[in-house]
Every structure is written in structure tokens, then in C-alpha cells.
Amino acid sequence: MKQEKLKITILYDNCTLKKGLKSAWGFSALIEHQGGTLLFDTGAKTDILLANMKVLGVNPKKITDIFISHNHWDHLGGLFGFLNVNHKVKVWLPADCSTTYAAEVRASGAECVRLSKSSKISKDIYSSGEMGKKIREQFLIVETADGLGLITGCSHPGIVAMARRVKQVFKKEIALIVGGFHLGSLSAAKTRKIAQQLKDLGIKKIVPCHCTGEKAMSIIKSVFADNFMAVGVGSIC
Ligand SMILES: [Zn+2]
Ligand SMILES: [Zn+2]
């Protein structure tokens, strides 16, 4: 069935809320929108990614695009193993991944594009373009009738800066943010400030996971209350 509304299924995460699914450090999510099926990141290990897909009834062959957020093993480690199963895909790498790496992706039979600037991926789906100084990272933006959906890997450039950039470029409200926020090393006061800044930006639903950090997660929950969603492998948001 054609998926019209945005549907995000967590395939790989540090935790799982459902039996029969495997959790491990890393992140991957299936993005279904307007009939398209895209894989956001691949987690660290292909066998875990594919095992979770099987349990969740996701056919790897129906994926047409793979979007890689940044050049960290826990986000692209599963890529080549996945390409062994399905290479009829277009891989959208951040330009931070080398031309050699891109050539290896192409050698598998897949198409491959390296992105540095904001670009259109498919209907209503865009890359933010790379952000950040030390670790370059891109994130995914989906335009929906309810507002923008923002899917992020680790948010190394800073989740608030990323959300601000998206609002500025698209001139629309952010309905949803899903992914790792990477706040574990910050003090409670700093984390609270970030959570409040996100709330002040008008973000309706917040779904932090992966590398966000447990303490940070509970602070964000206290700020967003009912608009906070706890997820793990198998969750749909
Ligand atoms: Zn990560
Ligand atoms: Zn990372």
C-alpha cells in the first residue's frame, strides 16, 4: 500500500521496547512518505539491521534511497552489507565521506551522490546540507501537511542550530524531530536550556533517541511533557 503520510519506523537504536528485536549502539530509521521508501542511516552492523527489518516485515528490496547523515561507524557501518542485499538504490552521502568511499559504494552497483549543500532527495524530502565544523553532518527534512519532519543522526552540529536553520530555510513550523541529540556530556542546566530553546521554536513532537543520553532524555521529557515520545527499535512515529 502506498504510504501517503509520513511514517518513521526505528530499525536500529540503542534500545528496544519490543520483544524479538535487537538493540545495539547505532541508529537507522525507515522513512516512508508519498509512496517513497528511504533508509536513513544503516546502524553499525548489517546483520542486526536486517534481522530487525525481517521481524518488522520490512522488505530491504523496496528501499530505493539510502541517506547517510555522517561519517561515523554507528551510522554507516551497515551500508556495504545492505548493498549486498539490495544495490538498486541511490546512496546520498555527506561530502565528508571521501571520494574513495563513494567509489566503493558505486563499485557495489549502487548510484552514489555526495552532498554538501541543501538538496532535494525526492518529492517533499530534502537534505539540510552539511552543517558543523569538526564533524560534518546532514539531516533529512520531510515536508508534510502538518509541518516539517526533521530526522537526525547524532546532531553533532547542535540540535538547536539545526532546527533554527530548517525553520529559516523552509519558513515553516517543525512538527517533529526524531533521532540522536548527543547531549550526554552536558550539565543538567545546559540541557534544560537546550530543551527550552527547542520548545520555544514551536516544535510540536520530540522523539530523542540513540546518543541523546538518559539524563538528557528525562529533562527533555519534563519540558515537552505529552509532546515527548520514548522510542526504541520497532517504534513508529
Ligand atoms: Zn551516533
Ligand atoms: Zn556521530
Architecture of domain 7-227: 4-Layer Sandwich (3.60)
What value does the mean pLDDT take over residues 20-36? 96
Residues with CB under 5 A from ligand 1 (ion): 74, 154, 211
| Ligand 2 center–CA 75 separation, angstroms | 7
Backbone angles phi, psi at 151, to 5 degrees: -115, 125
Query: Domain limits of the chain?
Result: 7-227
pLDDT on residue 17? 85
- Across the range 146-172, mean pLDDT stands at 96
Query: Could you say which DSSP state residue 111 is in?
Result: E
C-alpha 5 to ligand 2 mean position (Å): 28
Q: Tell me the CA–centroid distance for residue 167 and ligand 1, in Å.
A: 24
Instruction: Answer whether 42's CB lies under 8 Å from 76's CB.
Output: yes
Residues composing the chain: 237
pTM over 0.85: yes
Mean pLDDT along residues 128-146: 95
DSSP SS3 for 75: helix
Q: How far is the CA of 71 from the centre of ligand 2 (A)?
A: 7
How far, in Å, is the centroid of ligand 2 from the Cα of 43? Answer: 11
* β pairing state of 140-144 and 125-127: antiparallel
Q: For 71-101, what is each residue's pLDDT tens digit? A: 999 999 999 999 999 999 999 999 999 999 9
